[in-house]
């Protein structure tokens, strides 16, 4: 039974929702001061740009709005899954044949590595058969066949290297070694490991994911501090749709009977090891079912492990009901006298949510259709989370320097002296915690592995700030859907990561306040 009525209808006019959120933020945030704090971070990243093969650089050279970018995106989505060489050659020839890589690296603005890569791709096309007869390798000579296979092998290897930017390791042992190496370079770094896996199609798939998650928890537990604060340890993130093949509202009774015990087995292991377990966010039409599962588990936590402070939920602020969801989760925490971990993210399924609403002919969308509306929603939800330290431990995930600075400012104002600098070096703001102490922090920042490293390198120079890295773990064959979501998310022209890499975007435009923009209709 829920602690409050069902969430509001998701398909509502977004301008009305955003206008209400803007009112709640009025006077609570000095964006100009936040932007000023963020400027040195941005400048430092631009003064030390990532290498050419980094995702940000690739998207700058080959944006997904271009023919070249689309060709590479399609190859990333499909090539690693192709089982035979002939089809792989046909696919590679077809996609590279659609784009003009000969001129893609031209221009003074492109670096030497960009020009070299464009030339290499253009040369590779000469070894591939024409796309119209790509699959007819039997008509080609032996040298042509060998050349085509070499190009495909090189392309597969390049995609695997691209995937490695987003996947910490193929096994937990490999991933934890990488994490330990990273911690030697950066203090206050924690990890939330995510075993790669999309929605299960069969119960065998679900049991396989359950087994991999169980083993992951045991790996993490081996190095966890059993007596310190849970948030100081690494943790795990799990996907409910990967744990049950029929994770949908129409199968609610079956889900509650079969899925809840599976997740509880993971929760018990995590609680006994004093590590965190966070349930990942999914599509809008699964939100209320996710809440039912989450509350059923919270009730068990309160009954059997009331001291555990590591149970959590990810919440997507691009949803029209994001603030309602935050308030609902806070109510659950208070009802069961728990402190729940709440990961605030902007969202990763925007394209599919828009497409589904259009296919159904719905009057409105369940997600915001303007980026600055999502930014306003994020800040409004952050405000609500920071105001409920008795019920939640906020985890603010994102790579936008302006948003990060705004979060730190709001935390300092909430927990420290009103108006105090959000970046005090002496630990004067108790809300940010104190360096060298065993606890006291009221929140943490989060980023995705392979993204935002430059910005967070600067942010974490402040010893009061902690960051948790969301780190996928798994084989290359399992990363495709995740990789494509990341490329789509960061390839958009409005993406902060995309604009950060584009020096033609000025500092003022990059750090524009979302609070100054009027709400727009969908």
295's enclosing H/E stretch is helix 287-304
Predicted confidence at residue 247, as pLDDT, reads: 96
Over the Cα atoms of the chain, what is R_g? 24
The domain of 295 spans 14-41+173-516
Which two three-digit tokens encode residue 489? Answer: 């998310």
Share of the chain above pLDDT 70, in %: 78
Predicted confidence at residue 348, as pLDDT, reads: 84
Residue 478 banded pLDDT, cuts 50, 70, 90: low
Distance CA 498, CA 501 (A): 6
Torsion of CA 238, 243, 245, 248, to 10 degrees: -60
Evaluate whether residue 3 is within a structural domain. Answer: no
- In this prediction, residues 466-484 reach a mean pLDDT of 81
364 and 463 together in one domain: yes
Evaluate whether residue 1 is within a structural domain. Answer: no
CATH number at residue 330: 3.20.20.220
Residue 108 banded pLDDT, cuts 50, 70, 90: very low
Distance CA 190, CA 400 (A): 19
254 and 326 together in one domain: yes
Predicted confidence at residue 107, as pLDDT, reads: 46
pLDDT higher than 50, residue 139 = no
Predicted confidence at residue 496, as pLDDT, reads: 84
Residue 437 banded pLDDT, cuts 50, 70, 90: very low
251 and 296 together in one domain: yes
Angle between helical axes of 371-386 and 14-25 (0-180°, round to 10): 50
61 and 36 together in one domain: no
**Least confident among 74-88, 177-191, 278-292:** 74-88
The residue ranking higher by pLDDT, 360 or 76, is 360
The model's pLDDT over 291-341, given as tens digits with 9 standing for 90+, comes to 999 999 999 999 999 999 999 999 999 999 999 999 999 999 999 999 999
Distance CA 332, CA 315 (A): 14
Residue 138 banded pLDDT, cuts 50, 70, 90: very low
Evaluate whether residue 521 is within a structural domain. Answer: no
Predicted confidence at residue 199, as pLDDT, reads: 82
Predicted confidence at residue 104, as pLDDT, reads: 53
- In this prediction, residues 458-476 reach a mean pLDDT of 92
Which of 108, 133, 164 marks a domain boundary? 164
Which of 164, 189, 211 marks a domain boundary? 164
The model's pLDDT over 365-413, given as tens digits with 9 standing for 90+, comes to 999 999 999 999 999 999 999 999 999 999 999 999 999 999 999 999 9
The whole-chain average pLDDT of the chain stands at: 83
> Phi/psi at 49 (nearest 5 deg)?
-65, 155
Tell me the three state secondary structure of residue 192.
strand
Which two three-digit tokens encode residue 191? Answer: 């990890």
Residue 450 banded pLDDT, cuts 50, 70, 90: confident
Exposure letters 400-428 (e unless 16+ CB within 10 A, then b): bbbbbbbbbbbbbbbbbeeebebbeeebe
Query: Checking DSSP bridges between strand 392-397 and strand 189-195, what pairing results, if any?
Result: unpaired
Per-range mean pLDDT, top range of 50-64, 123-137, 242-256? 242-256
Tell me the three state secondary structure of residue 315.
strand
- In this prediction, residues 193-209 reach a mean pLDDT of 92
pLDDT higher than 60, residue 48 = yes
pLDDT higher than 50, residue 506 = yes
348 and 457 together in one domain: yes
Predicted confidence at residue 384, as pLDDT, reads: 98
29 and 71 together in one domain: no
Report whether 190 contacts 469 (CB < 8 A): yes
Predicted confidence at residue 153, as pLDDT, reads: 78
Angle between helical axes of 67-78 and 85-97 (0-180°, round to 10): 160
Evaluate whether residue 6 is within a structural domain. Answer: no
Distance CA 268, CA 275 (A): 10
What's the Cα-to-Cα distance from 373 to each of 108, 289, 346, 380, 387, rounded to whole Å?
36, 25, 11, 11, 21
What's the Cα-to-Cα distance from 216 to each of 141, 168, 172, 194, 212, rounded to whole Å?
49, 13, 6, 9, 6
Distance CA 445, CA 231 (A): 12
309 and 439 together in one domain: yes
Which two three-digit tokens encode residue 401? Answer: 């320097």
pLDDT higher than 60, residue 429 = no
450 and 376 together in one domain: yes
Q: Residue 403: which of 421, 432, 381, 388 has the closest Cα?
A: 381
pLDDT higher than 50, residue 356 = yes
Evaluate whether residue 449 is within a structural domain. Answer: yes
Tell me the three state secondary structure of residue 319.
strand
Domain count, the chain: 2
Evaluate whether residue 4 is within a structural domain. Answer: no
DSSP, residue by residue, 353-416: HHHHHHHTT-SS-SB-SSHHHHHHHHHHHHHHHHT-TTTEEEEEE---HHHHHHHHHHHHHHHS
pLDDT higher than 60, residue 518 = yes
Predicted confidence at residue 42, as pLDDT, reads: 96
pLDDT higher than 90, residue 494 = no
Which of 103, 132, 164 marks a domain boundary? 164
Tell me the three state secondary structure of residue 38.
helix
Residue 488 banded pLDDT, cuts 50, 70, 90: low
Distance CA 474, CA 453 (A): 21
478 and 460 together in one domain: yes
Report whether 79 contacts 156 (CB < 8 A): yes
- In this prediction, residues 270-286 reach a mean pLDDT of 96
pLDDT higher than 90, residue 88 = no
198 and 315 together in one domain: yes
Predicted confidence at residue 438, as pLDDT, reads: 38
306 and 273 together in one domain: yes
Evaluate whether residue 71 is within a structural domain. Answer: yes
The model's pLDDT over 159-178, given as tens digits with 9 standing for 90+, comes to 777 777 788 998 999 999 99
247 and 128 together in one domain: no
Share of the chain above pLDDT 90, in %: 56
Task: Name residue, tokens 């020009």.
Answer: 115
The residue ranking higher by pLDDT, 236 or 198, is 236
User: Burial level of 9, CB count in 10 A (0-12/13-18/19+)?
Assistant: exposed
Which two three-digit tokens encode residue 475? Answer: 């084989």
The residue ranking higher by pLDDT, 429 or 258, is 258
- Written in H, E and C, the secondary structure of 421-490 is CCCCCCCCCHHHCCCCCCCCCCCEEEEECCCCHHHHHHHCCCCCCCEEEEEEECCHHHCHHHHHHHHHHH
Evaluate whether residue 48 is within a structural domain. Answer: no
């Amino acid at each position: 039974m829920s602690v409050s009525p069902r969430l509001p209808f998701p398909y509502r006019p977004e301008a009305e929702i955003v206008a209400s959120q803007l009112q709640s933020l009025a006077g609570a945030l000095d964006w100009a001061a936040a932007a000023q704090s963020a400027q040195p971070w941005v400048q430092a990243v631009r003064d030390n740009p990532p290498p050419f093969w980094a995702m940000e650089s690739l998207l700058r050279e080959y944006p997904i709005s271009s023919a070249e970018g689309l060709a590479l995106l399609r190859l990333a989505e499909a090539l690693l899954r192709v089982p035979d060489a002939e089809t792989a050659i046909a696919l590679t020839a077809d996609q590279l044949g659609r784009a003009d890589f000969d001129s893609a690296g031209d221009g003074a603005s492109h670096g030497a590595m960009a020009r070299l890569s464009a030339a290499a791709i253009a040369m590779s096309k000469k070894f591939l058969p024409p796309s119209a007869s790509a699959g007819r390798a039997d008509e080609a000579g032996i040298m042509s066949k060998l050349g085509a296979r070499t190009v495909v092998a090189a392309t597969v290897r390049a995609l695997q290297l691209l995937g490695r930017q987003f996947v910490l390791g193929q096994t937990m042992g490999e991933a934890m070694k990488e994490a330990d190496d990273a911690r030697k370079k950066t203090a206050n770094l924690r990890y939330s490991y995510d075993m790669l896996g999309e929605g299960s199609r069969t119960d065998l798939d679900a049991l396989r994911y359950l087994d991999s998650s169980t083993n992951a928890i045991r790996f993490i537990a081996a190095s966890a501090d059993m007596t310190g604060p849970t948030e100081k340890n690494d943790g795990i993130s799990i996907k409910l749709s990967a744990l049950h093949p029929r994770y949908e509202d129409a199968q609610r009774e079956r889900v509650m009977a079969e899925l809840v015990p599976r997740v509880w087995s993971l929760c018990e292991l995590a609680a006994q090891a004093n590590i965190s377990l966070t349930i990942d966010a999914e599509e809008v039409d699964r939100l209320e079912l996710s809440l039912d599962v989450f509350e059923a588990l919270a009730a068990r936590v309160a009954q059997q492990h009331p001291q555990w402070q590591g149970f959590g939920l990810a919440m997507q602020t691009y949803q029209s009901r994001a603030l309602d969801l935050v308030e609902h989760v806070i109510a659950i925490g208070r009802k069961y006298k728990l402190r729940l971990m709440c990961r605030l993210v902007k969202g990763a399924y925007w394209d599919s949510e828009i497409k589904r609403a259009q296919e159904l002919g719905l009057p409105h969308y369940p997600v915001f259709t303007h980026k600055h509306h999502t930014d306003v929603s994020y800040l409004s939800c952050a405000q609500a989370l920071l105001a409920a330290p008795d019920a939640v431990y906020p985890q603010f995930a994102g790579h936008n320097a302006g948003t990060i600075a705004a979060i730190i400012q709001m935390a300092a104002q909430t927990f420290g002296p009103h108006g105090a600098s959000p970046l005090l070096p002496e630990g004067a703001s108790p809300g940010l915690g104190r360096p060298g102490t065993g606890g006291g922090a009221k929140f943490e920042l989060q980023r995705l592995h392979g993204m935002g490293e430059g910005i967070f390198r600067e942010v974490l120079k402040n010893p009061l700030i902690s960051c948790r890295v969301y780190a996928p773990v798994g084989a290359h064959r399992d990363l495709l859907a995740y990789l494509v979501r990341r490329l789509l998310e960061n390839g958009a022209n409005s993406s902060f990561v995309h604009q950060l890499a584009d020096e033609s975007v000025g500092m003022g435009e990059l750090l524009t306040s979302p609070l100054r923009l009027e709400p727009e209709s969908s």
